[in-house]
Amino acid sequence: MPELMFALIAAAAAWLWHDAMRARERTLAACRRACREMGAQLLDETVVLDRLRLGRDGQGHLAIDRRYRFEFSLDGHERRHGWIRLTGSDIVLLQMDHPDGPTLLS
């Protein structure tokens, strides 16, 4: 019985880790695309998990809600901030702090 419980916990942990890596890769690809479209450079080529909680997806189902932050530059010198939010596997919002005002992509 303890072996079965351990196996279930290990399987759940492996699934959560795999889901987190898949979400991060999807987020990073969306940030790269948004920076490319804006003519900006994604700094450090990375996104950082900022918030993790349970939320509801577009159909009202319970899903993991993640918010990542990233930094980009328009001129190669000044760092600017951006945020991207995923609910489940759907990108809900991408915000980039542009000098002319925040840019929202959804």
Query: Cα 28 vs. chain centroid, distance in angstroms?
Result: 7
Tens digit of each residue's pLDDT, the chain (106 residues): 788 898 899 998 999 899 999 999 999 999 999 999 989 999 998 999 999 999 898 888 999 999 999 999 998 889 999 999 999 989 999 999 988 877 777 6
Query: Hey, CA dihedral for 37, 38, 43, 46, is it positive or negative?
Result: negative
Least Cα distance to 48 among 32, 34, 66, 35 occurs for 66
Q: With a threshold of 0.95, does the pTM exceed it?
A: no
Residue 72 has what pLDDT? 96
In whole angstroms, give the CA distance from residue 41 to residue 39.
Answer: 7
Residue 101 has what pLDDT? 78
